Amino acid sequence: MAYNEEYGRYVSIVEETLTALLPEGGDVCPQDGSIPQHLRESMRYSLLAGGKRVRPVLLLAAGEMLGVDTAEACVPAAAIEMIHTYSLIHDDLPGMDDDDYRRGRLTNHKVYGVGHAILAGDALLNYAYECLLQHALSYPKNLEGHIRAVQIIANRAGVRGMIAGQSLDLLSEHMEPDADRLAYIHAHKTADLLTAPLLAAGCLAKADAEKMAALARFGSCMGLAFQIDDDLLDVEGDAQLLGKQTGMDQARGKMTWPSLVGVEAAREKSHTLWLQAEEAIGCFGEDAWFLRAFASALATRKK
């Protein structure tokens, strides 16, 4: 199957699953245990606002490569997108990056106010784990695989993962660029949440240690390259295409690859990392064709 068709198929599965898990509706003050209407709307506003769906597509594609049924993988995939969306909502808040635009529309707090944007993020994070655990219970024969997947997601998104990276990122504003510190920020703020879906797919498939290591290396190289590209897009990208303002990293005194080594060297570093990512999944042979094509497409992304 052609790459674009396959990517479209995965994205459709993600959109359908997200919509099914968080349908429109709800009362202001529901008596039936459902999510109150305003909270639900603020969650849906950011979750269903497009986005490339990189993390859930990685989970579905790695899962299929390893023989996991889509019906089994789609909820974990959607849950990772909820966690990613919560992180974007919180990252855009005035106390963090204070951004007005995200995914081509006003940021959550600009529409619902800061208080509700905090709640929408909190709600997506909690709901992600509720969906993951509920779904795990439907697979009693692979309960261990599901629990291991949830554990990896919690670890990579949490206090040693994305949140740790974000914490150091905040602490590093207006500091002299430092290679070790920047490597830590990128590995955790960005690469961890790109590695999590790959390893979660591996858990569902009961993949052996060699395959898990290959997936971890793929995720880590891809994640670092993805973040360097993100830094470069902030310097030289098109705000219209990106759906958010550019030039913000420099304005905020953020520590980035271009600020550490310059634009040209950052581009070279990203190129090398993308090649290393592709090499990392060599052990899967032709079965990894989609992951390879996906990495190539991301390596030339404009948004």
Binding site for ligand GRG (CB under 6 A): 51-52, 54, 87-88, 90-91, 103, 162-163, 166, 189-190, 227, 230
CA distance 190 to 281: 20
Assigned token pair, 193 = 């949440």
Spatial CA neighbour of 60 closest among 75, 39, 50, 46: 75
* Minimum distance from residue 199 beta carbon to ligand GRG (Å): 18
* Minimum distance from residue 246 beta carbon to ligand GRG (Å): 12
Nearest CB to ligand GRG, comparing residues 51 and 202:
51
Assigned token pair, 198 = 């790959």
* Minimum distance from residue 292 beta carbon to ligand GRG (Å): 19
CA distance 62 to 76: 12
Query: Which residue of the chain is nearest ligand GRG when measured via CB?
Result: 51
Assigned token pair, 156 = 């990579």
Strands 101-102 and 105-106, sheet pairing: antiparallel
Q: What is the DSSP letter of 286?
A: G
Nearest CB to ligand GRG, comparing residues 163 and 183:
163
- Positive or negative: CA dihedral 301, 57, 254, 109: positive
* Minimum distance from residue 236 beta carbon to ligand GRG (Å): 15
Nearest CB to ligand GRG, comparing residues 20 and 252:
252
* Minimum distance from residue 208 beta carbon to ligand GRG (Å): 29
Assigned token pair, 146 = 């599901």
Nearest CB to ligand GRG, comparing residues 128 and 207:
128
Nearest CB to ligand GRG, comparing residues 54 and 78:
54
Nearest CB to ligand GRG, comparing residues 87 and 259:
87
* Minimum distance from residue 53 beta carbon to ligand GRG (Å): 7
CA distances in angstroms from 90 to 73, 94, 141, 289, listed in the order given? 26, 9, 37, 35
Nearest CB to ligand GRG, comparing residues 110 and 206:
110
Stretch (H or E) spanning 102:
strand 101-102
* Minimum distance from residue 109 beta carbon to ligand GRG (Å): 13
